[in-house]
Structure 1
């Protein structure tokens, strides 16, 4: 496949779709714009809106890569936490594209990891190694609490990077202490299967907060949090005005650490585990003062194995666009 320039790259989540343009070989992603998914009928309509906002005279894209927050199987694509349901082939034809590559959003996020630089990261302790220093066969992993919970990995192969896409956010979540067991038990009254995404995501934090508040109410510290959004929970938790919201943030960070440790063990990601998504950056110092790293390492006999794996927060929320660009580059190689 020869992907003709200019390229259009997109990172489509349940809430927002981010678009950018790559003008030619080796060029960075430019002219990045963020559009709300719900405001457009589908990707073709969103692309037309993006292109209409560009300066007059710019050439139309010839090739595109869409990173999409869903599992991909066949021509029909439906977002897991969004309203778009479309045909890949139909969208390619409608937009007049020579090439349209569709990949899982965390496949693109994983492919962005080798291109991340220090100013796009905040390490928890020792920084992850630079991509140039990573040996063949080394795995890096990324997890991202955003609207949903994404998981991906990337392994260095001779001359290229291979993405390891999956739907790890939907694995069953495990408690690590009695309080978390009580919180999960409470949530099971509402959902028969409590996945990691049910708690560790934008759609999940209100579920977690309701469960935490119910458990606290049993000890005489009840609060009505039923109407709170994720943004309100974060704000009330950081300010300390709500005990239930504050405890929710503590549980969120701790369980995210345990989940990240599980991903590291499953993939053997000695090259690091990176935290993406839009939620954790909002927590600021609260995240770095939390139980995240302790719980990441708290795996019994494999604590020393995990202690040697670096963890870092991705502070650049547009990083997945460079991963989509790499997917096109490698498909074109």
Structure 2
């Protein structure tokens, strides 16, 4: 038996899988609030108690770089070690992998009903694929063909410098530089970054904020769900929230296009993480909300393809939204492959 885990800044999702049943058949599954625990080991011990788990190994994906079997998580104050976790949990083996590395492991195995098409394009066989995953943070990864199968490659591209593409985004960058100094893409297009965009828009037009919504945000520990809900409601009443989501989606498109060009992802681009499935209408051309100019929201593909001489190439790149927890599936696939048959 193997414990597979997706360790996020908000939640830790653990599952039990076996070589006989395969990575998709979860024999047990539990979700725990990450911030309520001092580290990963206490959560795993709780999972073992809750489920009566008898496992011999574990594979965990984490939000942060994994180097020499150790990881310091980006959005949690945890430092993890494969060796220490194996000893503390009494397991033969523990593997740590970057969360985007795990998603990349899962992408070649996704079924048709586990994605939604944003741009059908034309898939080139055995061509590189790219992954952009906005969740609590922003993850990026890619896959290259290795001769018999795809090789998953992790990155920390979400922390690269934010590059504005229009005057509105230039003004956003100036606002963010005053607040943070260095401005990475994660600051403006992850779940943790959406409130930053909202604050920028409110600073530009304070009178546009709805009083009731301002009071709701003041009470919230995490403002992102409220802004996301108001920005995707379809009514367009909350102009600041609608425009915050619009800007976020446009930045997703621009950076996804950048990533596609960098790795020549003619095999497809996949939007994973917790946020894209929640804004599907805004990602598709002819979305349900309207921006400040009255145009229907289709800004993702406009920004994705707005690359000058390479616009035609990018129009033919397939774009999909992953609608399952691909990180957990990838951790299960990778962990089962590493199990000692003996």
Q: Would you say the 8 A contact 2:117–2:320 is kept in 1? A: yes
Picking from 294, 305, 326, the partner of 1:319 is 326
Q: Would you say the 8 A contact 1:197–1:204 is kept in 2? A: yes
Bigger shift: residues 185-194 or 281-290: 281-290
Given the alignment of the two structures, is residue 306 of structure 1 paired with residue 314 of structure 2, yes or no?
A: yes
Q: What is aligned with 1:24?
A: 19
Q: What is the RMSD of the two structures over their aligned residues, measured on CA atoms? A: 2.1
Q: Would you say the 8 A contact 2:2–2:336 is kept in 1? A: no
Question: What is the distance in 2 between the residues matched to 1:49 and 1:215?
Answer: 47
- Secondary structure, aligned partner of 1:24: coil
After TM superposition, the structure 1 = structure 2 runs for residues 85-234 of structure 1, keeping only pairs within 5 Å, are 85-126=79-120, 129=123, 134-135=125-126, 138-217=127-206, 221=208, 227=218, 229-234=223-228
1:84 shift after superposition? 2.2
1:108 shift after superposition? 0.2
1:324 shift after superposition? 1.2
1:149-187 C-alpha deviation (Å, 9 max, x unpaired): 011112221233211111010011111111111121111
Question: What is the distance in 2 between the residues matched to 1:246 and 1:101?
Answer: 41
1:77 shift after superposition? 2.5
Question: What is the distance in 2 between the residues matched to 1:199 and 1:243?
Answer: 18
1:241 shift after superposition? 3.3
Aligned residues: 317
Bigger shift: residues 26-35 or 104-113: 26-35
Question: What is the distance in 2 between the residues matched to 1:69 and 1:254?
Answer: 24
Q: What is aligned with 1:3?
A: none
1:14-37 C-alpha deviation (Å, 9 max, x unpaired): 111111122114613402222111
Question: What is the distance in 2 between the residues matched to 1:127 and 1:53?
Answer: 46
Gap regions ≥5 residues in structure 1: 1-5
Q: Would you say the 8 A contact 2:164–2:170 is kept in 1? A: yes
1:185-212 C-alpha deviation (Å, 9 max, x unpaired): 1111101111100011111111111112
1:53 shift after superposition? 2.0
Q: What is aligned with 2:305?
A: 297
